[in-house]
């Protein structure tokens, strides 16, 4: 009788721990996937000449900003 109780208790606690891990809200959020999707979208836009020119202008405007730290 004690053996069945010990087995049930151990497996029950493992099941609770597994459920708590699986139900975590941040489990499916991967920041790398978001970065890869953004990069893929930029590459898709850059497939045309107009898209490449727009991406180039966007990069250039980011580099021309004055440094206000001084």
Domains contained in the chain, number: 1
CA distance to 11, 13, 18, 26, 51, per residue, from 21 (Å): 15, 12, 5, 10, 43
How many residues are given for the chain?
A: 70
pLDDT in tens, the chain (70 residues): 779 999 999 999 999 999 999 998 877 777 888 888 888 777 776 677 777 777 778 878 765 555 555 4
pLDDT of residue 70: 46
Structural domain containing residue 47:
31-62
Structural domain includes residue 16: no
Do the domain assignments include residue 46? yes
Contacts of 54 (CB under 8 A, 6+ apart): 45
For the entire predicted model, the pTM comes to 0.42
Angle at Cα 41 formed by Cα 35 and Cα 67, nearest 5°?
65
């Amino acid at each position: 009788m004690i053996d069945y109780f010990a087995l049930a208790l151990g497996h029950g606690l493992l099941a609770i721990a597994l459920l708590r891990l699986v139900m975590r809200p941040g489990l499916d959020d991967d920041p790398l996937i978001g970065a890869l999707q953004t990069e893929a979208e930029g590459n898709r836009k850059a497939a045309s000449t107009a898209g490449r020119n727009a991406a180039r202008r966007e990069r250039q405007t980011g580099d021309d900003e004055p440094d206000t730290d001084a």
